[in-house]
């Protein structure tokens, strides 16, 4: 088969897998109806029994497996997990497919801390002259990346010196930290085609779902290649599982709603509506449960068995949310959903409209309990550039800002040239920069929001997702002050819990005693 890529195909390795997941799934199903205790996989397969009985067991095993699968009783397939190593996969594929749902765990190399090499990028096998346009765009994006690192380092060094004045006495010791801050921002010009590598662990059920939907946009070719190889490796380990595999839906079957090309005028109206709702913010509160504070207070009182006159709303909310009264909140373990008082936070719900770059949203979506209506990026293949500019670039101004803006304009011109040559939107989208604007609505309960803020209000968090979290906390403070007062960065939480040191980051301390600052004073450039 001719490779769809000019560059190397994605590499998939099987790191670890549960033993005999098919038979363990059936054993779990039989245990539900067993009067004799837990059923084992050996019992399912008839280990140690005669050939005749083993054949009978196999027939029973497959009948249970198929009947439960067809009936939708799929939880039994979540007992088996499989861990893959993925290399030479695009950031676009990871964002669009692998991390677009809650049922996974990934550890991925960071573009914030690891410099990108020029040859680490997905290049599709396109006909001439489209191939030359694509390759020229990628090469230029890589040059812009390296140039911006050099242009931003002096500005990052000056800001770093203001935050850590004592470190100015030995600047060479901190050059690596400064370089990483410039590198983190310069990556915005890189294409989403840039390669990454990661460890990705999922259940057998999730992999079967991957197989069914791997032809969805935005990366159907890459997704199909990766998922096919994942399945091949797992089925090689346990051939019985292949009986349950459902054929992938073709793109036209999976997405009859997808129109191509994009209705540009309609998209422009969508952007105008969305921006009006944001009102200049990174995140805007657009809906919430009525009486969230009363809902949470009632839930706390239900846990404690107390009437309203014995525990007023503000006191009830503090019981669950104040680290001084609920010291478990100060721990890094995040046991909120496991503790009875913590589960009372599910009673409050919020919806935020948000605008982030692809780079920032790739981190925001890792908060798997805050799902969002993330777009098909084909709709963002517009004639005019639509991108986010990081705060450090705006602060630097001058040549750095000019180089950044010129890079964005050149990238959108290249995408337009591919569109004029009738290249598929799938391949155009790979050229979009990390800076491309992603607009979506994110919903969450208070438990998930509190945990996200405990991570992303930290001043070490990526700047955009930090700003979005500040906007969220500010919006809630305007309507629910008893709740908002406890939406704090990790140092603020530990300060209220009486835990020392207040900053849990060790030598990664941001340099600012944020726990002493009012929310109105939260400002940062780096």
Confidence class for position 161, pLDDT limits 50, 70, 90: confident
Q: Note the pLDDT of residue 260.
A: 54
519: left (phi over 0), alpha (psi -120 to 50) or beta: alpha
pTM of the model: 0.94
Q: Note the pLDDT of residue 250.
A: 84
The mean pLDDT value for 108-128 works out to 94
Q: What is the pLDDT of residues 356-410, one digit of tens each?
A: 999 999 999 999 999 999 998 888 888 999 999 999 999 999 999 999 999 999 9
Q: Note the pLDDT of residue 82.
A: 98
Q: Which residues pair with 83 in a beta bridge?
A: 16, 201
* CA contacts within 13 A on the Cβ side of 194: 24
Examine the pLDDT at 259 and tell me if it is beyond 70.
Answer: no
With respect to residue 99, please indicate whether it lies within any of the assigned structural domains: yes
With respect to residue 93, please indicate whether it lies within any of the assigned structural domains: yes
With respect to residue 231, please indicate whether it lies within any of the assigned structural domains: yes
With respect to residue 115, please indicate whether it lies within any of the assigned structural domains: no
Q: Note the pLDDT of residue 447.
A: 97
Q: How many domains does the chain have?
A: 1
With respect to residue 29, please indicate whether it lies within any of the assigned structural domains: yes
**Helices 490-497, 446-456: crossing angle, 10 deg rounding:** 100
Q: What is the bridge-based pairing of β-strands 283-288 and 11-17?
A: unpaired
Q: Which CATH number characterizes residue 36's domain? A: 3.30.1360.170
Examine the pLDDT at 166 and tell me if it is beyond 60.
Answer: yes
Q: Note the pLDDT of residue 249.
A: 87
User: What is the rounded average pLDDT for all residues in the chain?
Assistant: 94
Examine the pLDDT at 237 and tell me if it is beyond 80.
Answer: yes
Examine the pLDDT at 174 and tell me if it is beyond 90.
Answer: no
Q: What is the pLDDT of residues 68-98, one digit of tens each?
A: 999 999 999 999 999 999 999 999 999 999 9
Q: Note the pLDDT of residue 262.
A: 61
The mean pLDDT value for 422-435 works out to 96
Examine the pLDDT at 42 and tell me if it is beyond 70.
Answer: yes
With respect to residue 179, please indicate whether it lies within any of the assigned structural domains: no
The mean pLDDT value for 155-165 works out to 89
With respect to residue 477, please indicate whether it lies within any of the assigned structural domains: no
C-alpha to C-alpha distance for 83 and 235, rounded to whole angstroms: 14
With respect to residue 268, please indicate whether it lies within any of the assigned structural domains: no
Tally helices (H) and strands (E) across the chain.
Answer: 21, 7
Domain hosting residue 209, numbered range? 11-108+195-254
Examine the pLDDT at 195 and tell me if it is beyond 70.
Answer: yes
Percent of the chain with pLDDT over 70: 98
Q: What is the pLDDT of residues 135-147, one digit of tens each?
A: 999 999 999 999 9
Q: Note the pLDDT of residue 1.
A: 55
Q: What is the pLDDT of residues 481-518, one digit of tens each?
A: 999 999 999 999 999 999 999 999 998 898 899 999 99
The two three-digit tokens of residue 286, written as one number: 């657009």
- Are 328 and 335 in contact, with CB atoms under 8 Å apart? yes
Q: What is the pLDDT of residues 262-309, one digit of tens each?
A: 677 888 899 999 999 999 999 999 999 999 999 999 999 999 999 999
Examine the pLDDT at 253 and tell me if it is beyond 80.
Answer: no
């Amino acid at each position: 088969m001719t490779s769809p890529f000019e560059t190397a195909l994605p590499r998939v390795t099987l790191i670890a897998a549960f033993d005999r997941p098919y038979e363990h799934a059936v054993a779990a199903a039989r245990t539900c109806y067993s009067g004799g205790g837990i059923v084992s996989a050996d019992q399912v397969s008839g280990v140690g029994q005669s050939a005749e009985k083993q054949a009978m067991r196999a027939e029973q095993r497959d009948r249970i497996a198929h009947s439960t699968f067809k009936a939708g009783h799929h939880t039994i397939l979540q007992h088996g997990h499989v861990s893959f190593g993925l290399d030479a996969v695009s950031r676009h594929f990871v964002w669009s497919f692998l991390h677009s749902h809650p049922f996974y765990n990934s550890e991925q190399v960071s573009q914030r801390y690891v410099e990108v090499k020029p040859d680490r990028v997905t290049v599709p096998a396109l006909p001439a002259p489209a191939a030359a346009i694509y390759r020229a765009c990628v090469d230029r994006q890589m040059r812009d990346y390296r140039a911006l690192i050099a242009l931003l380092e002096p500005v990052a060094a000056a800001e770093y010196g203001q935050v850590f004045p004592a470190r100015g006495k030995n600047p060479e010791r901190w050059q690596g930290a400064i370089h990483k801050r410039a590198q983190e921002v310069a990556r915005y010009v890189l294409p989403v085609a840039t390669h990454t590598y990661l460890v990705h662990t999922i259940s057998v059920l999730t992999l079967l779902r991957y197989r069914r939907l791997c032809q969805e946009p935005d990366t159907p070719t890459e997704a199909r290649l990766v998922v096919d190889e994942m399945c091949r490796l797992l089925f090689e380990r346990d051939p019985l599982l292949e009986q349950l595999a459902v054929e992938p839906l073709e793109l036209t079957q999976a997405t009859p709603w997808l129109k191509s090309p994009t209705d540009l005028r309609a998209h422009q109206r969508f952007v105008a509506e969305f921006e009006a709702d944001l009102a200049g913010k990174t995140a805007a509160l657009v809906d919430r449960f009525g009486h969230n504070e009363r809902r949470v207070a009632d839930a706390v009182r239900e846990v404690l068995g107390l009437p309203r006159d014995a525990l007023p709303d503000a006191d009830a909310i503090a019981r669950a949310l104040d680290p001084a009264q609920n010291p478990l909140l100060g721990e890094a373990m995040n046991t909120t959903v496991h503790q009875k008082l913590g589960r009372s936070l599910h009673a409050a719900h919020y919806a935020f409209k948000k605008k982030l770059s692809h780079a920032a949203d790739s981190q925001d979506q890792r908060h798997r309990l805050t799902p969002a209506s993330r777009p098909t990026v084909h709709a963002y293949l517009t004639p005019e550039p639509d991108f986010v500019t990081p705060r450090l670039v705006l602060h630097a101004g001058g040549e750095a800002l000019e180089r950044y803006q010129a890079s964005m304009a050149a990238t959108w011109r290249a995408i337009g040239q591919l569109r004029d040559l009738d290249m598929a939107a799938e391949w155009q989208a790979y050229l979009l920069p990390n800076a491309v604007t992603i607009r979506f609505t994110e919903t969450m309960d208070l438990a998930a929001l509190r945990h996200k803020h405990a991570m992303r209000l930290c001043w070490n968090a990526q700047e955009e997702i930090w700003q979005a979290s500040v906007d969220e906390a500010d919006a809630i403070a305007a309507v629910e002050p008893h709740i908002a007062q406890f939406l704090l960065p990790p140092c603020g939480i530990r300060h209220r819990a009486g835990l020392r040191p207040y900053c849990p980051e060790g030598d990664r301390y941001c340099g600012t005693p944020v726990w002493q600052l009012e929310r109105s004073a939260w400002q940062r450039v780096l």
